[in-house]
Amino acid sequence: MAPMLASDMPAIFTREDVAKIATLANLELDSAEMDLFARQLGEFLSYAEAVQQVDTAGIAPTASVLARQDADRPDEVRPCLDRDAALANAPDPALDNGFFRVPRVIGQ
């Protein structure tokens, strides 16, 4: 993948770098998108480079602004979506068996 950024160097992404990220993201890209994203990923990360310069020694990361709160509740069975409703939007449901059907995984 793209090299770690030196502070004064723009990030360079090759088509191979982009292809690796696309595989991680489960995303097929056409040739034009490969070139476009190679350029645009580099442009954005160069722009975001200023963030690397901020002194964050000893600063805790904020993943959520929520104050910790007790969200526990009794572990009781409650009404939920019934199976037919859950399957209603599936592209290939197996309604009689209650499954989502997918293309073959084993033996590919």
Partner 1 sequence: MRIADVTARATRDAIRLRQRSATEVCRETLDRIAALDPELHAFNTVVAERALARAEAIDRDPERWRAAPLAGVPVALKDNISTQGVRTTASSRILETYIPPYDATVVNRLDAAGAVIVGKTNCDEFAMGSSNENSAFGPVKNPWALDRTPGGSSGGSAAAVAARLVPLALGSDTGGSIRQPAALCGVVGLKPTYGRVSRYGLLAFGSSLDQIGPFARTVDDAALMLQLIAGADPADATTAAEAVPDFASALTGDLRLARIGVPRTMLEQGVDAEVLRALTAALDTLQARGATLVDVDLPHARHAIPVYYLVAMAEASSNLARYDGVKYGFRADTKGQGLRAMYARTREQGFGAEVKRRIMLGTYVLSAGYYDAYYLKAQQVRTLILRDYEQAFSGSGAVDVIAMPTSPTAAFRIGERVEDPLQMYLADVFTVSANLAGLPAVSVPCGFTADRLPVGLQLTGRRFDEATLLRVADAYERDTEWSKQPPPILSR
CA distance 78 to 102: 29
What angle, rounded to 10 degrees, do the helices at 31-47 and 15-24 form?
90
Q: Which is nearer to partner 1, 96 or 105 (CB)?
A: 105
User: What is the closest distance, in whole angstroms, from the C-beta atom of residue 53 to partner 1 in the complex?
Assistant: 9
Residue 85 binds partner 1 (CB under 8 A): yes
HSE value, Cβ hemisphere, 13 Å, CA-based, for 88: 6
> Cβ contacts of residue 38 below 8 Å, gap of 6+?
13, 14, 15, 17, 18
Contact 11, 5 (CB under 8 A): yes
Residue at token pair 């009404």: 79
Interaction residues for partner 1, span 44-83 (CB under 8 A): 44-45, 47-48, 50-52, 54, 56, 59-66, 69, 71, 73, 81
Q: Which is nearer to partner 1, 16 or 47 (CB)?
A: 47
In the set 35, 92, 94, 98, which binds partner 1 (CB under 8 A)?
92
Contacts to partner 1 by CB under 8 A = 1-2, 4-5, 18, 21-22, 24-30, 33, 36-37, 40-41, 43-45, 47-48, 50-52, 54, 56, 59-66, 69, 71, 73, 81, 85-86, 88-92, 100, 102-105, 108
